[in-house]
């Protein structure tokens, strides 16, 4: 994470952001809201408004959590940075999304390797206003916790191809819903360019598909509805992962990292 350091909350649970950080948030917010029109799921764009996110200042974790609690019983928890998978899954199973509290500097405004509060709150939280999506997050955390260590990397593939880079069918065509699309100008342009491969969402295929974190995605999985996504986890996920392991990974659609 380089020289970035997570912020600590004060006694009232608030985080202090500088005028420069508020300005960077505002620039990121305005840029992405302009870029996402007609490209992200309407549910996402509606959720931005329901959370009261604006270009004025970095939002407070406590305020976002309170709004989510009132809407879907979801919430967010400020965390120091990357956390252990077991803790991550446990929080999700409680319908709580862990969020990093630092914001990228201006020199990193286009890309930062580790998720910051813009990625976490602007990218992830708007869809937590949708009851079916919030149910998927909770059920994902519960299933991942139950399955344990041997299954965690395949479960991270499911997270990657849905929560981070998922696409959804809408009456107006395929739109993005993943946070990695919502918070990245390059990713949303690529996802909607017509050059990327779009596959129907299927758990077995997802569990067999490798990915790289440092490139725009060559393939995306498309869900029909958030309700269908949530219901996918009623399947025997462990058995499907076992089958995926037995069959082996599908050929990578990218070059290996140097």
What would the pLDDT profile of 171-197 be if each residue is shown by its tens digit?
A: 999 999 999 999 998 899 999 999 999
State the Cα–Cα distance between residues 168 and 24, nearest whole angstrom. 30
Q: Check: CB of residue 86 under 8 Å from CB of residue 64.
A: no
Task: Give CA 238 to chain center in angstroms.
Answer: 23
Question: Which secondary structure element, helix H or strand E, spans residue 89, and what is its range?
Answer: helix 85-93
Average pLDDT estimate for 223-243: 98
Which ranges of 16-60 would DSSP assign to H, the alpha helix? 19-36, 42-50
Burial of 147 (0-12, 13-18, 19+ CB in 10 A): middle
User: Residue 253: its pLDDT value, please?
Assistant: 86
Secondary structure of 100-166 in the HEC alphabet?
Answer: ECCCCCHHHCCCCCCCCHHHHHHHHCHHHHCHHHHHHHHHHHHHHHHHCHHHHHHHHHHHHHHHHCC
Q: Check: CB of residue 35 under 8 Å from CB of residue 58.
A: no
User: Residue 247: its pLDDT value, please?
Assistant: 98
Tokens 């912020």 correspond to: 7
Burial of 124 (0-12, 13-18, 19+ CB in 10 A): buried
State the Cα–Cα distance between residues 124 and 132, nearest whole angstrom. 14
User: Residue 185: its pLDDT value, please?
Assistant: 85
Task: Give 221's strand partners.
Answer: 199
Q: What is the pLDDT of residues 66-84, one digit of tens each?
A: 999 999 999 999 997 679 9
What pTM does this model have? Answer: 0.95
Task: Give 76's strand partners.
Answer: 97
User: What six digits make up the tokens of 115?
Assistant: 């998720």
Q: What is the pLDDT of residues 190-226, one digit of tens each?
A: 999 999 999 999 999 999 999 999 899 999 999 999 9
Tokens 């029909």 correspond to: 224
State the Cα–Cα distance between residues 110 and 211, nearest whole angstrom. 21
| 113 — pLDDT class (breaks 50, 70, 90) | confident
Q: Check: CB of residue 187 under 8 Å from CB of residue 180.
A: yes
| 2 — pLDDT class (breaks 50, 70, 90) | low
User: What six digits make up the tokens of 55?
Assistant: 């270009």
């Amino acid at each position: 994470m380089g020289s970035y350091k997570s912020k600590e909350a004060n006694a009232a649970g608030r985080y202090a952001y500088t005028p420069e950080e508020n300005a960077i948030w505002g620039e990121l917010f305005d840029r992405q809201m302009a870029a996402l029109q007609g490209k992200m799921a309407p549910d996402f764009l509606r959720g931005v408004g329901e959370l009261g996110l604006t270009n004025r200042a970095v939002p407070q974790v406590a305020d976002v959590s309170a709004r989510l609690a009132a809407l879907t019983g979801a919430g967010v928890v400020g965390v120091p940075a990357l956390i252990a998978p077991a803790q991550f899954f446990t929080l999700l199973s409680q319908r709580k999304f862990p969020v990093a509290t630092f914001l990228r500097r201006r020199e990193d405004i286009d890309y930062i390797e580790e998720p910051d509060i813009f990625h976490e709150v602007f990218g992830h939280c708007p869809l937590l206003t949708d009851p079916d999506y919030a149910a998927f997050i909770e059920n994902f955390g519960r299933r991942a916790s139950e399955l344990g260590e041997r299954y965690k990397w395949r479960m991270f593939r499911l997270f990657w191809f849905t929560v981070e880079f998922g696409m959804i069918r809408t009456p107006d065509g395929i739109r993005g819903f993943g946070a990695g699309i919502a918070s990245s100008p390059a990713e949303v342009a690529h996802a909607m360019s017509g050059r990327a491969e779009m596959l129907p969402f299927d758990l077995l295929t997802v569990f067999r598909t490798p990915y790289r974190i440092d490139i725009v995605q060559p393939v995306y999985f498309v869900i029909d509805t958030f309700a269908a996504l949530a219901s996918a986890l009623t399947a025997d996920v462990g058995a499907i992962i076992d089958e995926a392991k037995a069959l082996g990974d599908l050929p990578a659609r990218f070059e290996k990292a140097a």
